[in-house]
Structure 1
Amino acid sequence: MANDRKYLIFEDVKNDSSLRNIFDECVGDILEDKARLSKTRNQSGYPSYECFRIQGREILVNAAFEYYLFKIGGADFDYDIAVLFTEKMRKLCGWSWDVDVTLRYWVERTVRNPFFEEIKNDEGYREWKLKAGEPSWELPESYLRFACYIAVCNVKYKGGDGQYQAGEIFKIVTALGSKLPADLKKNGSGDLPLGVRQYKNDIVTCTANDVFATIRISVKEESEEAYRQVLDFLYQLLSFGFPASYSVKFSSPEKTWLPIKSLPKKGIHQLFANAVKWPALYPKIEEYAKLAMKEFEWYNDLEAEYCAMPGTFAVFALGLLGEAYHPLVCDYLSTCDGEHQSVQGDFVLAYIENYGFTEKGLELYNLCDQNIQHLPKKLSTLYAKRK
């Protein structure tokens, strides 16, 4: 059936040099922003794929991308040209399967497989170890830079899974003797202006690294002004395109926790339990929550049963104040990934224990029930006993 296929894949141009002019024209259109996405024609036995139409032929998106990366390979591989083309593809297709998988295969084929062998660690998980003996050739620095660029893109556009994949790439590049990952860990990607990723004065210190999606905040005095500055830093950082999944390391003189059983006692929890003491900060807390809430994104330092969507603790802190922030809480309960997150059940339980099954309390209960794997047993019991 493969011989009946009408669209072109990368193997076609590898095996038939006469197709290069069609692929080159496609690449030229992408570089000149003339390319337009289409769908392969209906064909019995084949699904429809995204493609480019050139001279009456259909070239799959990943085939055009793979062809270009293959074409510019070699000892004179140009990092800037590779990034330029990748950015064209990303803007044209988004961080789609075609872009993501093509780049992942490029890393495996070019950077990993020639130098590493697969082993199993003591827990039985797969790891990669440098092959014994001296390699017959070395990768130019431009290859390692492009691999790190791919890792950074994974963090920016793929959330938690992307951060894991980025970490694997950084391990490989570091094992090959490069200092690039260490520099990225220290300084970030360089895409964030210094004034966005760092803020420091006598009462607060805030730093952020977009490559590793980490935010560090230290408050030296408990005051409304200190938390105002922290919230302003967070809002500006997220507005500038910081990764939507991230971890927050927070420290302050006072450790306060929200009156919700089972919530993890982590820094991000402490931050909003402290900040909500000042009513003047409520609008800023709400602004942060609305900006941070994104389905399938996470606070990366919360795991297992404690996993939570960004904005969680800001929403909970405001939600426990009563009905004033009811719309915000409803938006949160409708947005969070109920297949993997359950802390919202603990919040609704605390709310019902405080305010009862009022009209709004019942609405929160129903929204939570519709978007969670299992309600807390006590919450279900209270609902069953309500009058």
Structure 2
Amino acid sequence: MSNNRKYLIFEDTKSTPSLHEIFDECIVAIEEGSTRLSNTRNEAGYPSYKCFRIQGREILVNAVLEYYLFKAGGSDFDYDKAVAFTEKMRKLCGWSWDIDTTLRYWVERVIRAPFFEQVNDSYGYPEWKLKAGEPSWQLSESYLRFACYIAISKVKYMGGDGQYAASEIFKIVTALGSKLPADLKKNGSGDLPLEIRQYKTDLVMCDANDVFATVKIKVKEDSEEAYSQVLDFLCNLLSYGFPSSYTIKFSSSEKNWLAIKSLPKKGVHQLFANAIKWQALHPQIENYARLAMKEFEWYNDLEDEYCAMPGTFAVFALGLLGERYHPLLCDYLSLCDGEHQSLQGDFVLAYVEQYGFTDLGLELYDLCDQNIQHLPKKLTTLYAKRK
């Protein structure tokens, strides 16, 4: 090699064919579960990276996956084997930068580059358009299925950030004539049992799609039992492993909203403003909130100043009831991403206006102040006048 680096990268297999044996051995070890993740040794001028150690050599994680996919390419590309190996890598390494970036490059190199060219839309933004003329060759269904597997994984493991990347993959796969994205939009990935993703009674209709991270809920009769069924559905869905960032599309003839200024009037807001009026449902609402609350995850249909962590409206609905749910409020205010979300300031303002700067109100103010870019001006004014 032309430098003093001791760890191996994929390009080394091109310049030094004898290294194929070490890479092949690493792949077998991963498939058999006989290797584990390690770190490269400290070398002057080089940071430490995640790697596998084989025959005393260190192979970077992305190098192993890139080598595997390179060897697997060709007319006999095996979708099932490619997914099985990638899943073993994911379980060893998590959906890490190494895994995600390698798979993104694979899509760009194998699926996009041969068939698409970059153009600008009417607003000057880049988009991908099929190249003129018929391609001299076509990708097999196995390649397109693997691209869709990558898109689904991005939704599962990257939260809101994965949604856009997945939609771009689905667009190019659809443009190549595949019906796979349409089938996934209709039926989901197939990983969720039917009884988990669909629920229908005389009172409600619920349907979830894990590929597009959407939950559709229709309440046919506004009653305690109807909302109890909805909450059970949501809790079962999240407990099973539904994507942590998602959209709730809710419809009901009754439209209530929480007494908090600036909250977006979206379906998920309406859902919990409706459900909160039944005291017997409050434990179910808290259960949903606890399952839904995850830092850096979002309701995907809320953007900009309305960004909200899942569970937000359930927490706010319970929080306005008083001190009983103070621990839940504290957990929420400590967890939410104050760099991107500001709705918590509107909630604390509404809480203080209702209950005043009690000891509990002061604690909520302090927690919010520590986890928000700018408190509402009216809230800071009330705080300054509290004595």
Q: Same fold (TM over 0.5)?
A: yes
State the Cα distance separating 1:3 from its structure 2 match: 1.4
* 1:47-86 mapped onto 2 (5 Å cutoff): 47-86=47-86
Paired AA for residue 195 in structure 2: G
- Matched residue, 2:223: 223
* 1:257-296 mapped onto 2 (5 Å cutoff): 257-296=257-296
- Matched residue, 1:143: 143
Structure 2 residue matching 1:262: 3-state secondary structure: coil
Greater mean alpha carbon deviation, residues 82-91 or residues 33-42: 33-42
The 2-side partners of 1:145 and 1:83 are apart by 10
Paired AA for residue 41 in structure 1: R
* 1:94-109 mapped onto 2 (5 Å cutoff): 94-109=94-109
The 1-side partners of 2:42 and 2:349 are apart by 52
- Matched residue, 2:379: 379
Deviations, residues 330-386 of structure 1 (Å, cap 9, x unaligned)? 000000000000000000000000000000000000000000010011001100111
The 1-side partners of 2:136 and 2:47 are apart by 42
Paired AA for residue 352 in structure 2: I
State the Cα distance separating 1:149 from its structure 2 match: 0.4
* 1:322-333 mapped onto 2 (5 Å cutoff): 322-333=322-333
The 1-side partners of 2:40 and 2:155 are apart by 31
TM-score by length of 2: 0.99
* 1:21-40 mapped onto 2 (5 Å cutoff): 21-40=21-40
- Matched residue, 2:320: 320
State the Cα distance separating 1:2 from its structure 2 match: 5.3
- Matched residue, 1:304: 304
Structure 2 residue matching 1:375: 3-state secondary structure: coil
Structure 2 residue matching 1:199: 3-state secondary structure: strand
Structure 1 portions without partners, runs of 5+:
none
- Matched residue, 2:119: 119
2:176 is the counterpart of 1:176 = yes
TM-score by length of 1: 0.99
- Matched residue, 2:338: 338
State the Cα distance separating 1:123 from its structure 2 match: 1.8
- Matched residue, 1:349: 349
Deviations, residues 43-82 of structure 1 (Å, cap 9, x unaligned)? 1111111111111111111101100011111000000000
* 1:161-172 mapped onto 2 (5 Å cutoff): 161-172=161-172
- Matched residue, 1:134: 134
Identity of aligned residues (%): 79
Deviations, residues 125-158 of structure 1 (Å, cap 9, x unaligned)? 2210111111111000000000000000000000
The 2-side partners of 1:147 and 1:85 are apart by 15
4+ long deviations beyond 6 Å: none
The 2-side partners of 1:378 and 1:165 are apart by 39
Structure 1 residue matching 2:52: 3-state secondary structure: strand
Paired AA for residue 206 in structure 1: C
The 2-side partners of 1:294 and 1:196 are apart by 21
